Structure 1
Amino acid sequence: MSERKVLSKYYPPDFDPSKITRTRGPKQAGPKVQTVRLMAPFSMKCTHCGEFIYKGRKFNARKETTDEKYYNITIFRFYIRCTRCSGEITFKTDPKNMDYECEKGAKRNFEPWREAKLNEETEEERLDRLEREEAERDAMKELETKVHDAKQEMAISDALDEIRSRNARIERADKEGTRTHVQAEDVDEARKRQEEEDAEAARRAFENRAMPDIGEEVIMEEETTDVPVQTPITVFAKKPKEKKDFGAALGLKKKALLANAGPPPKTAQPPPPSALLAGYDSDDD
């Protein structure tokens, strides 16, 4: 903001203020047009590409003041562009219904004043309207009907071709003198009888089929009169486990061992302590 608060401006050296003159251009002919920023007042569908434009989408629009008025209320027209194909869409204000009216370039998805018109229409008008809407919605149904009719015609033509070929075959057989009138039941019985004969022949073939000799050797068991030798049965006796003498390793002797050893040998007993201290009683030494 500080750059707009300068007190001095730059003037070039060749600036001549006398050359600046105030001129008035021609007045704008036609309605007054100005550029405004607005939001779409209703949801619509573009008629050029089918794009849906939701309510509240922002546009840079041209606002035009029209000559139309409703009770001295000016009606404005707005021009916007489709967001997908840039097609021009036009709508104007509708003071009578306190809403907007879409003119061209798009189709409004919902118009609230239609409900009031529906309540006012008669039964005949309602039937006519329903028939028109039904005809518009039945485009897909009509296409499905055409496809179904085409499939039916193809089936009929195939049946006719089959009938023609069968008639030609019958006529050719009549000329040759062979039997042509054969019932379907006779054909089924003959086919069933043929299948049974084939099954019986296969069963007989498998029964009469001899197995090939693969040269197996027959081993005959020879009878022996030798008395079987009885082998001695080994008997394992349980041997108690010897216990280790841990006391001998530590120099300890058990009482049982001492008793078995007898009286211990006599050893020289040490003199009593009084005899060892006999010479140390006097203080003369």
Structure 2
Amino acid sequence: MSERKVLTKYYPPDFDPSKITRQRGPKNAGPKLQTVRLMAPFSMKCTHCGEFIYKGRKFNARKETTEEKYYNITIFRFYIRCTRCSGEITFKTDPKNMDYECEKGAKRNFEPWRESKLAEETEEERLDRLEKEEAERDAMKELETKVLDAKTEMAIADALDEIRSRNARLEKAGRDGVEPTVEPDPAEDRRKRQEEEDAEAARQAFASRSMPDLAEEVIEEDMMDVPIEVPPTITFSKKPKEKKDFGAALGIRKKAAAPGPAPLVKAPAPASKLSTMLVAGYDSDDD
């Protein structure tokens, strides 16, 4: 097996170095491209497949030097590929806002320069913008508002028709020489009658209720000397629980204990002869 790294190389016998000529390729007339390793400067969403690319993900990108400049600051463009669908995403530097600008292939999730624009707007513009966003976001609320407006318009139209009809009736009665009479509203009469019945029921309920007599109790001096009877204290004693004979339930009989031998009583030792003589000599105190 030949070595992988060698200092000498094989030259065939018919090798002629004069036949080797230098060749120069055509110069690249387009923009200068350079392969670099970079991280995504902002979080974005791919417009081709909807993949989210978080900020800081590493890519092998192509760096392009554009002819655009901002106060003599060169603007660079970068080309990357989506990690899911391999769609091309391009973004470039933005020296004006000290950030990056997404051009095509993806949509940026958050653009910080919008915050400065929001800070410059007035309170009225801010309220109008918030109301507009809320109305666009909540379509159901807008539908409910439309239904409520329609109901209000219908109620107003009914009230106007009733007023017009009443005025026409009064005008016709005045032309005929008849005293106009206003017909009572049955709903209003029913409401007044209900209120009167509730008030009468409440008055009767409070009238029949008697308040207790809360007069002060007079305590005499003789009652202060009367001893107070203390009820006897009830004590409880713990009764030992009887043990259940499980052997009797199973039909097992225990043998009666055999009587043991009587305990031996040790007889006193007989007194010696010397002690008997000494005790006999001290029978009286006359000696």
- Could you state the TM-score of these two structures normalised by the residue count of structure 2? 0.44
- Could you state the TM-score of these two structures normalised by the residue count of structure 1? 0.44
